[in-house]
Amino acid sequence: MATQAGERGELAWLDGRETITVTELSRVCALSAADLEELVGYGALEPLRAPLPETLFSAEWVMPLRQVARLRRDLDLDLYAVSILLGLIQRIEGLEGELRSLRARSAG
């Protein structure tokens, strides 16, 4: 996706149907590949496939990882705390999606 991402810009990474390599994810989220592997080990980050030449992730991880990377820097958090935050962000996003769906049904 490196060539495609360069052509389409970072907006492609907002599409959860896209994939991103661990190297690209590391670059756009300002977390090292080792940090990302540790988050996978904690169960907070799920790869799509195990290492082929390189591990692939859904592009849906870009924005939450950017958020937790910023919080990590600002609050000097360790990766275990980051993994908890990542889980909470995912949970909040899921609940917000459910709320939007319920509101749409009740309005219609």
pLDDT category, 13, cuts 50, 70, 90? low
pTM of the model: 0.78
Start-to-end Cα distance in the chain = 40
Q: Could you tell me the residue range of the domain that residue 7 belongs to?
A: 2-107
CA atoms within 13 A on the CB side of 98: 6
pLDDT score of 42 more than 90: yes
How is residue 59 annotated by DSSP? G
Name the domain count of the chain. Answer: 1
- What pLDDT was estimated at residue 10? 52
Q: What is the mean pLDDT of the chain?
A: 86
Query: Which has the minimum average pLDDT: 2-11, 12-21, 26-35, 46-55?
Result: 2-11
Look up residue 61 and give its two tokens.
Answer: 């991880």
Q: Which CATH number is 14's domain given? A: 1.10.1660.10
